[in-house]
Amino acid sequence: MNWFWISGLIIVLDQITKYIADSNLYLRVPVEVIPGLNMTLCYNKGAAFSFLSNAGGWQRWFFMGISIVVSIAIAHCLRNVDPKRATLAWGLALILGGAIGNLIDRSLFGYVIDFIDVYYEHWHWPAFNIADSAISLGAGLLIVDIFTNNEPCLKRSHE
């Protein structure tokens, strides 16, 4: 099965929602959706949880390089994943889509557009986006696959 459609869907949904957020929200001004969930536009120049966001600019190229290398490796694995390993394939496809979605932002703007703001009372989780959600869900699926499968994850080539 071709799993790349999942990655493509994540990329499209991620970019559309980021465009809508960037076009309709004011920077760092929360808009309540429901209690515990705001839409709050943020620009993240760093990695997860704004890691290295104030590093002076070099981190943009560093994170872009990592994203490109990891995306190529994941695409290779996804192309060769054993068809019986659907959980693994879904995980890889979600991570690939999320990585490319954030790579697009970093390439075009020098930062990643985040807008989903989950909170409880005065405590806020760092803002995130669809790509971040896909990466997290994909990582969770990889963990599930590790604990539920003892088979090799890649198709065996014919010798």
Active site residues: 114, 132
SS3 110: coil
Q: What's the CA gap between 9 and 91, in Å, rounded? A: 14
User: What are φ and ψ of residue 122, in 5° steps?
Assistant: -105, 5
Q: What's the CA gap between 74 and 68, in Å, rounded? A: 10
Q: What's the CA gap between 45 and 95, in Å, rounded? A: 20
Distance of CA 118 to the CA centre of its chain: 17
Which strand (E) or helix (H) includes residue 44? strand 37-44
User: What are φ and ψ of residue 37, in 5° steps?
Assistant: -140, 115
Q: How many secondary structure helices (H) and strands (E) does the chain include?
A: 4, 4
Which strand (E) or helix (H) includes residue 94? helix 86-109
